[in-house]
Amino acid sequence: MKKIVAAILLVFLGFAQNTQAQILDRLIKKAEEKVFRETEKKVDQSIDKTETEKSKNENTSEKAVKNNQDKVAMQTYSKYDFIAGEKVVFFDDFTETAVGDFPPNWNTTASGEIVTNNVFTGNWFKMIGEGCVALDEGIKLPDNYTIEFDVIPYTVNEDNVSFEYGFYLYSAQNPKDLNEGGAVPGYNGGIKMSFGYRATYSAYNEEGYTISGEKEDAKMEAGKKYRLSFWVQKTRLRVYQDQVKIFDLPKVFKPGMICNQMRFELWGESAPMITNFRIAAGLPDMRSKLITEGKLVSYGIYFDVNKDVVKPESYGTLKAIADVLKENPTVRIKIVGHTDADGADKSNLDLSKRRGESVKTELTKIFAIDASRLEFDGMGESKPIAPNDTQANKALNRRVEFIKL
């Protein structure tokens, strides 16, 4: 009996020892698992933090790159002193003409139609053939005015790199007669210019040609978009291709001569496409308007359709406004965006506010105007200064106002 009890005790003790060992192993494993989970959690937290910081840094970096790109884009126009005229007297972006039709405000001895393309937005007036394209009624221009348009030069012969097209400003005896000539000696006077593989000019009066010249490095490539701007102040003409002033002719027009027509001249190999054709009269006296009168209406600050990013060709106007503010350091202003009536009221209101804010940003970022001196707002389409019934009137309503506070 004693032997049996002893055997049972030995078995029990062995079982107890085994159980204790198993429990101990489990405890050790649980402890190890806990340590592993806590370590894994800390690693995950560290990774999350690192990824968050990385994402934040990447976003900051991307934002910095974009800001730098915007700044560079604007600063490439640092020598661009063009300032658009004070009042829009003619505007055509061809949005009211159906694709395939000829625009009603124009006439031609060649051909043309409204087109779209897969690279640049909007409707474009493509001119085709040999002859000329001009304003249907002509236009009597004042002493001081500006003309601007976007152009995509296009050649009907891809192998021809020497294509060019003309743009003439002149005083015609009959602006509606496109066969008159108008831009040759013997008439009232004007200037013939050409653009393409080079830029040229030839001015004339009743007696004959007076001055001429060319700029070989002012080249255009087929399929690329350019902006041409012309600034006339009595006898003086300045011509800009994008941000570069390519001609500055102080006495190109005879004193007192009034231009009443302009036209594109086509020689067959080139088929230029144009849009955003705008003529504005008078040079705005920014200091007088802003400081003395307390309100400046500007048409020289540009945005793409439904966009709030200030385009680089706005540089000349923004710089002139910034100069006035620097000369009058105590003056504070409110920048107010306005739109035409196309589109929804709510969207236009939001767009106008964003445009006002963008102008403020450019004045502070590029021209170092203290942000505390600037406020912004937007009125959308609620404060028109002309009926929204024609392209020219809509262009008048699309404006930025600077109001002295």
- For the chain, the structural domain boundaries read 27-75, 87-281, 285-404
Do residues 258 and 234 touch, judged by C-beta distance below 8 A? no
Other Cβ atoms less than 10 A from the Cβ of 174: the count is: 12
The token pair at 96 is 């009211």
Q: Which phi and psi (to 5°) does residue 154 adopt?
A: -140, 135
Whole-number pLDDT of residue 114: 97
Do residues 164 and 196 touch, judged by C-beta distance below 8 A? yes
Which has the minimum average pLDDT: 5-9, 96-100, 378-382, 391-395? 5-9
Tokens 């097209």 locate to 165
pLDDT-derived band of residue 45, with 50, 70 and 90 as boundaries? Answer: low
Return the closest-CA partner of residue 317 out of 339, 289, 293, 338: 289
Whole-number pLDDT of residue 71: 52
Do residues 110 and 128 touch, judged by C-beta distance below 8 A? yes
Do residues 237 and 247 touch, judged by C-beta distance below 8 A? yes
Same fold yes or no, 87-281 and 285-404: no
Write the DSSP symbol of residue 219. -
Q: For all residues of the chain together, what is the average pLDDT? A: 84
Do residues 338 and 388 touch, judged by C-beta distance below 8 A? no
The token pair at 150 is 């976007």
Do residues 342 and 103 touch, judged by C-beta distance below 8 A? no
Verdict on whether the full-model pTM lies above 0.85: no
Under 8 Å CB-to-CB from 83, ≥6 apart: which residues? Answer: 146, 231, 283, 284, 300, 316, 317, 320
pLDDT-derived band of residue 168, with 50, 70 and 90 as boundaries? Answer: very high
Whole-number pLDDT of residue 73: 65
CATH number of 285-404: 3.30.1330.60
Q: Which CATH class is domain 87-281?
A: mainly beta
d(CA 42, CA 45): 5
The token pair at 78 is 């640092």
